[in-house]
């Protein structure tokens, strides 16, 4: 569902992906979709539904067995495109501990910038700006093992964002964080989206899906739904097919409706409060 | 047990001359110092070099107990070396200790060898106490950079060292978790050597599997951040030699020179 009139920044055309030794079982089975520039797309699905595979296909870490992934018109299957594709699509993974390469926060944020071959002054300028933006400006000389989970994941995000990617793909980035850090991190990602970055956000947390303008729901490697979260969470057949549950606010609002309360379902806690207090 | 909080390396922050000197220069000086130890002809020369090293450590405000703690393993080795020479050297006798004979030349040669061993290790400790591990690997990478002309993977080697250092605390923390998980299910540390080795296996196997999984994820994270080896890569840190480095080099050379000259002239 590309709302913009501009051409999509990411296109998948009948993408099939199989992992070695998995026989004929496809992790992704013929996925076709477009993501427009500036979109925020949440990706949800049960374990093994193909979410992480999809994320890794978007910047050429995995290549499709069939079909095509295009990033800004360039196919990930062509090796000569990969440098440009990885500059365009930044990735944040689940576990910050296995993404931090360098021995200090500052050096880790600089890692990607050094790979881009930027001059030292530019590296320093960009890394300081990113570190300040994500609240790790005071920790530049700290060794990663002294950081909290939230600080580590913000360091990773700073390192990726410092490279100025146009698309940010996040694969369950908050699943190892405490609830407060989850909220802070999600807010940071939304601020990047508001600033114009295209965001593809893979998550298990339905509260994070609920506030996305668009969601993709995967089931057994196929696209089960592509649209607004409200339309998804109000359909029991889709919830059953994908093995997902609605966010807490919607479950509460359903319980209230069953008990004679407001009938219109609420997607977020704010909406629920509004309906109850109306 | 809190393995994950263990300090890695021995770096002690400070602002002394030793701390501020260029890490490349410090590594080069360490190499020269270590080689020079084998050109010093007498104990007096080694004593001069040792005194200089201890003075530098004192000026860098490194606590003496930390120096002692760091060099404790080598002190034992030095003592064994000294005893071997003292009791087994042969030649003029110095006296007796029970059934053992003490030899005069053994005492001199043993003292010389033991002191050289201690100084060799102490100079390395001085480097690691006054240089952050990150700077050390960075400097090593730069020093080896010319070798990349002959296809030696200098940058990759330095990066491997950085990653190894970076992952030691993470691995210790994982080991900590695994041990606790095993203990929660009734696993003990086992008695005797065989028991201990047997008890370690259930810790090491998951640790290995986890390390491979982490390595895989790390490789993906590096690739996604445009890593393609040293090709076209720039560096954040710009190292340039300055006055501090000139002063450091001068003092280090004077110390090494004094050690060699005094060692030769004193005849002791």
**Position A226 in a domain:** yes
CB A127 within 8 A of CB A109: yes
Residue in B closest to A125 by C-alpha: B236
Rounded Cα gap, residues A214 and A233, in angstroms: 12
Cβ distance A99 to B221 less than 8 Å, yes or no, reads: yes
Domain contains A257: yes
CA B198 to chain centroid, in Å, comes to 31
**Rounded Cα distance, A70 and A85, in Å:** 9
Cβ separation of B237 and A83 shorter than 8 Å? no
Question: Does residue A97 belong to the interface with chain B, where contact is any CB pair within 8 Å?
Answer: yes
Name every chain A residue with its beta carbon within 8 A of the beta carbon of B132. Answer: 103-104
Q: How far apart are the first and last CA of chain B?
A: 50
CA gap A38, A50 in Å, rounded: 24
Q: Same domain for A203 and A262?
A: no
* Distance (Å, whole) CA A117 – CA B235: 8
User: Which chain A residue's Cα is nearest to B216?
Assistant: A98
State the CATH number of the domain containing residue A154.
3.40.50.300
CA torsion sign for A137, A188, A49, A47 is positive
CB B139 within 8 Å of CB B125: no
Angle at the Cα of A56 (from A50 to A60), degrees rounded to 5?
A: 135
Assess whether A166 and A196 both reside in one domain.
Answer: yes
The residue segments making up the domain with residue A226 are 10-246
DSSP state of B185: T
**Hey, are the CB atoms on B225 and A86 less than 8 Å from each other?**
yes
Instruction: Tell whether A267 and A201 lie within a shared domain.
Output: no
Q: Residues A127, A254: one domain?
A: no
Q: Which residue has the higher pLDDT, B28 or B210?
A: B28
Mark whether A151 and A235 lie in a shared domain: yes
Of A91, A95, A124, the CB nearest to B236: A124
Q: Kindly list the distances between the CA atom of residue A26 and the CA atoms of A22, B185, B193, in Å, as whole numbers in the listed order.
A: 8, 37, 49
A248/B11: higher pLDDT: A248
Residue A4 lies in a domain: no
Tell me the pLDDT band of B4, cut-offs 50, 70 and 90.
very low
Q: Tell me, yes or no, whether A130 and A221 share the same domain.
A: yes
CA–CA separation, A31 and B172 (whole Å): 41
Measuring CA to CA, which residue among A169, A274, A222, A191 is closest to residue A48?
A222
Q: List pLDDT tens digits, range B116-162.
A: 999 999 999 899 888 887 788 888 888 998 988 888 888 888 888 88
ipTM over 0.90: no
Give the residue on B whose Cα is nearest the Cα of A146: B5
Query: Is the distance from CB of A127 to CB of B247 less than 8 angstroms?
Result: no
> Closest to B162 (Cβ–Cβ): which among A90, A103, A115?
A103
Q: Out of A103, A118, A124, whose CB is closest to B165? A: A103
Beta-bridged to residue A16, according to DSSP, are A29, A66
Pair A49, A140 in one domain: yes
Separation of alpha carbons A181 and A157, rounded Å:
13
- DSSP letter (8 states) at residue B194: H
**Structure letter (DSSP) for residue B188:** -
Q: What is the pLDDT along chain A (278 residues), one digit of tens a residue?
A: 444 578 999 999 999 999 887 777 889 999 999 999 999 999 999 999 999 999 999 999 999 999 999 999 999 999 999 999 999 999 999 999 889 998 889 999 999 999 999 999 999 999 999 999 999 999 998 888 889 999 999 999 999 999 999 999 999 999 888 999 999 999 999 999 999 999 999 999 999 999 999 999 999 999 999 999 999 999 999 999 999 999 999 999 999 999 988 888 899 989 999 888 87
Is A5 inside a domain boundary? no
The domain total for chain A is 2
Residue A1 pLDDT: 44
Q: Is A149 on the interface with B (CB under 8 A)?
A: no
Let me know whether A124 and A164 are in one domain. Answer: yes
Q: Which of B19, B177, B226, B239 to mutate to test the interface with A (most CBs of A within 10 A)?
A: B226
What's the mean pLDDT in B179-203? 77
**Which residue in the block uniquely carries the two structure tokens 């605390």?**
B169
Predicted local distance difference test score (pLDDT) of residue B191: 67
In-domain check, residue A3: no
Name the residue in chain B with its Cα closest to that of A169.
B224
Higher pLDDT: B10 or A107? It is: A107
Token representation of residue B147: 């070798």
Per-residue pLDDT, A108: 94
Q: How large is the average pLDDT for residues B66-83?
A: 88
Q: Are residues A206 and A242 in the same domain?
A: yes
Are both A206 and A90 inside the same structural domain?
Answer: yes
Q: Strand A198-202 and strand A40-45: pairing?
A: parallel
pLDDT at B134: 76
Selected for mutation to probe chain B from A55, A114, A142, A159 (highest B CB count within 10 Å) is A114
Residues of B in contact with A100 (CB under 8 A): 166
Sequence ranges of the domains in chain B: 10-131+241-266, 145-224
Same domain, residue pair A46 and A107:
yes
The SS3 call for residue A33 is: strand
| Residues A79 and A170 both lie in one domain | yes
Note whether residue A1 is domain-resident: no
């Amino acid at each position: 569902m590309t709302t913009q009139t501009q051409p999509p920044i990411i296109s998948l055309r009948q993408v099939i992906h199989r992992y070695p030794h998995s026989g004929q079982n496809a992790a992704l089975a013929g996925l076709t979709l477009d993501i427009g520039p500036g979109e925020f797309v949440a990706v949800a699905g049960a374990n093994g539904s193909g979410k992480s595979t999809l994320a890794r296909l978007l910047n050429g870490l995995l290549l499709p067995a069939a079909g095509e992934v295009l990033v800004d018109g360039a196919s990930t299957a062509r090796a000569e495109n990969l440098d440009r594709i990885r500059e365009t699509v930044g990735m944040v993974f689940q576990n910050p501990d296995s993404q931090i390469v360098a021995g200090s926060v500052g050096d880790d944020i600089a890692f990607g910038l050094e790979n881009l071959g930027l001059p030292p002054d530019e590296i320093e300028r960009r890394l300081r700006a990113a570190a300040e933006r994500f609240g790790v400006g005071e920790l530049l000389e700290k060794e990663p093992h002294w950081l909290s989970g939230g600080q580590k994941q913000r360091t990773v995000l700073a390192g990726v964002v410092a490279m100025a990617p146009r698309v940010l793909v996040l694969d369950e980035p908050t699943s190892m964080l405490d609830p407060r850090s989850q909220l802070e991190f999600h807010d940071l990602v939304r601020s990047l989206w508001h600033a114009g970055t295209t965001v593809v956000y893979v998550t298990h947390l339905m509260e994070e899906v609920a506030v996305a303008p668009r969601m993709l729901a995967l089931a057994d490697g196929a696209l089960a739904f592509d649209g607004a979260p409200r339309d998804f969470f109000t359909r029991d057949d889709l919830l059953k097919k994908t093995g997902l549950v609605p966010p807490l606010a919607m479950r509460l609002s359903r319980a209230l409706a069953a008990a004679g309360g407001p009938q219109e379902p609420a997607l977020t806690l704010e909406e629920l409060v509004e309906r109850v207090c109306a | 047990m809190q393995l994950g909080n263990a300090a890695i390396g021995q770096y002690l922050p400070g602002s002394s001359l030793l701390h501020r000197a260029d890490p490349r220069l410090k590594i080069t000086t360490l190499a020269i110092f270590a080689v020079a130890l084998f050109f010093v002809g007498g104990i007096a020369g080694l004593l001069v070099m040792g005194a200089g090293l201890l003075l530098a450590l004192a000026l860098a405000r490194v606590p003496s107990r930390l120096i002692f703690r760091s060099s404790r393993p080598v002190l034992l080795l030095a003592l064994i070396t000294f005893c071997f020479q003292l009791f087994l050297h042969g030649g003029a006798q110095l006296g007796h200790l029970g059934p053992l004979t003490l030899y005069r030349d053994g005492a001199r040669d043993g003292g010389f060898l033991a002191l050289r061993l201690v100084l060799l290790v102490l100079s390395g400790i001085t480097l690691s106490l006054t240089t952050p591990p990150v700077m050390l690997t960075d400097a090593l990478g730069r020093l080896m950079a010319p070798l990349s002309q002959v296809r030696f993977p200098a940058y990759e080697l330095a990066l491997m060292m950085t990653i190894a250092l970076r992952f030691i605390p993470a691995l210790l923390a994982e080991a900590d978790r695994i041990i606790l998980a095993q203990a929660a299910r009734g696993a003990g540390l086992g008695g005797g050597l065989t028991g201990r080795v047997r008890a370690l296996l259930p810790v090491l196997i998951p640790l290995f599997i986890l390390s491979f999984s982490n390595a895989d994820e790390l490789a993906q994270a590096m690739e996604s951040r445009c890593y393609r080896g040293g090709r076209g890569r720039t560096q954040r840190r710009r190292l340039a030699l300055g006055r501090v480095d000139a002063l450091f080099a001068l003092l280090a050379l004077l110390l090494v020179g004094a050690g060699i000259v005094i060692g030769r002239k004193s005849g002791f």
